[in-house]
Structure 1
Amino acid sequence: MQPDRVEAQPPVPSPVCTLDTRAALLHRLVDATGCESSRYPAQDAEHRAADAHAAAETVARECGDPPGPRELITVIWLPMPTRTGQDERVTIPPSTPLQPFIPLPIPAPPPFQQTKEEAEAILLTGAEAPLPPAVRRHQQRVLTRVRDVLASTGAKGHRLYVLEIAGPIPRIKIGRSNDPRARIRDHVHEMNSYQYGLIDAHVTDPVDDLLSITQAENEAHIGMGKRYERINQELFRDADFLYATLWADLAVTVQLNRL
């Protein structure tokens, strides 16, 4: 009867070697991020490893067993498998300086229209609360675009805003505000509580006086009301977003030309 074959197992790293590995990885992480204020944990881990080495060497001498050379550090990089599909193992002596970390390129986000269609499809079927991450991510993209437009054109002044709201009954909202960014965020919070979501938004050029922007809002509402069913004074059922933005821009342009 042949004895069972026992395969050789890789050596288990000692606790001291593990401390060396931790310190090396922490230093590498700080080098990669460039956040020098986080260097202290790496230095602390390095000091702990040095203390552990000193204590181990002291115990070895007391036992009459002279300490041998320090172990090599074996690091297993899980995110990047080799071509063979196995984990890549890199052996690094403790005295070897770490090479600069080159981060992987960040993939570009999907096109705005793609995430809009995905969020709209989810909301049309009646999404449950809380809204799915895909909807919330797209809403944040819309709010970011509004913020960027206001930052590039100046945040002051009264404006009309047009919101494309998706849900079981799609709708368009045309409103006015002298702080459209905050007002739109309030609308998003409210509509989300009813499982509706914002999938697109538009803000017009600013108008200086309240009377002119109020007249522009009324003209936009009248124009939309001739073609679409009203839900209330500012909401229009199953309306076209592009058509609503044209009415809002036209109404504001008329008022600016009168000033």
Structure 2
Amino acid sequence: MVLIKNPRKVARRLMRNVGDGPLPLLALRVQERAREEVRELLSADGFREHRLYVLEVAGSHPYIRIGYSSEPWARLTRHIGEMNRWYHTLIRAYVSEPLNDKHSSKQAEDQAHSFMRKFYPVAAPRSRETFMGTDFNAGKTCVDVAVSLTKYPA
């Protein structure tokens, strides 16, 4: 058995050069672990809640995706399918605490995107929720602040 000290880091490096070949087994295992962590969190709080999410995606063009869904588990599954078709893989995923309704969730999403554009002015072409670069923690912070400002206005 081989123990890999930092599997996310190794998976990111592997995914930069994957081209159009099969996805590396390590990257798929990292993706499955990230997916399982979200499933565990949602199983405790509920799978059908209005939430924001942050995804760190590795591949030839790594990016962060911030979005909203009223069914985050189903949305994550669709994102993973799309990523894998384009030879990208999920490295980490985060879902926010639940918000009250769709309107407040969309407000929080817009605010999180605005915060991210200040840190990463280079967004992916034709996508308002995809940010080039891989600072997952910045994305998480932007989402948490936006959710807090929306849920608990001053």
Instruction: Please give the TM-score of this superposition, normalised by the length of structure 2.
Output: 0.90
1:234-253 aligned at under 5 Å gives the runs 234-253=129-148
Over residues 114-150 of structure 1, what are the superposed CA-to-partner deviations in whole Å (9 max), with x where a residue is unaligned? 2211211110123433312111111111100000111
Hey, what's the Cα distance between the residues in 2 that align with 1:235 and 1:176? 12
Over residues 231-255 of structure 1, what are the superposed CA-to-partner deviations in whole Å (9 max), with x where a residue is unaligned? 1200011141100000001111111
Query: Cα RMSD (Å) of the superposition?
Result: 2.0
For 2:26, the equivalent position in structure 1 comes to 134
Any idea what SS the aligned residue of 2:6 has?
helix
Contact residue 172 and residue 238 of structure 1 kept, 8 A: yes
Contact residue 49 and residue 72 of structure 2 kept, 8 A: no
Q: Is 1:195 aligned to residue 87 of structure 2?
A: yes
Any idea what SS the aligned residue of 2:53 has?
strand
Match of 1:210 among 102, 107, 110: 102
Contact residue 171 and residue 238 of structure 1 kept, 8 A: yes
For 1:256, the equivalent position in structure 2 comes to 151
For 1:180, the equivalent position in structure 2 comes to 72
Identity across aligned pairs (percent)? 36
Runs of 4 or more above 4 Å deviation: none
Q: Is 1:233 aligned to residue 125 of structure 2?
A: no
Over residues 28-66 of structure 1, what are the superposed CA-to-partner deviations in whole Å (9 max), with x where a residue is unaligned? xxxxxxxxxxxxxxxxxxxxxxxxxxxxxxxxxxxxxxx
For 1:220, the equivalent position in structure 2 comes to 112
Q: Is 1:115 aligned to residue 7 of structure 2?
A: yes
For 1:149, the equivalent position in structure 2 comes to 41
Which residue identity does 1:235 align to in structure 2?
T
Hey, what's the Cα distance between the residues in 1 that align with 2:19 and 2:6? 18
Specify which structure has the bigger relative contact order, considering alpha-carbon pairs within 8 angstroms and separated by 6 or more residues. Answer: 2
How far is 1:110 from its partner? 5.3
Which residue identity does 1:208 align to in structure 2?
N
Size of the aligned set, in residue pairs, is: 151
Uncovered stretches (5+) of structure 1, i.e. residues with no partner: 1-106
How far is 1:152 from its partner? 2.1
Contact residue 156 and residue 206 of structure 1 kept, 8 A: no
Over residues 138-177 of structure 1, what are the superposed CA-to-partner deviations in whole Å (9 max), with x where a residue is unaligned? 1111100000111123333200000001111110000110
Hey, what's the Cα distance between the residues in 2 that align with 1:151 and 1:256? 22
Uncovered stretches (5+) of structure 2, i.e. residues with no partner: none
Hey, what's the Cα distance between the residues in 2 that align with 1:184 and 1:154? 15
Instruction: Please give the TM-score of this superposition, normalised by the length of structure 1.
Output: 0.55
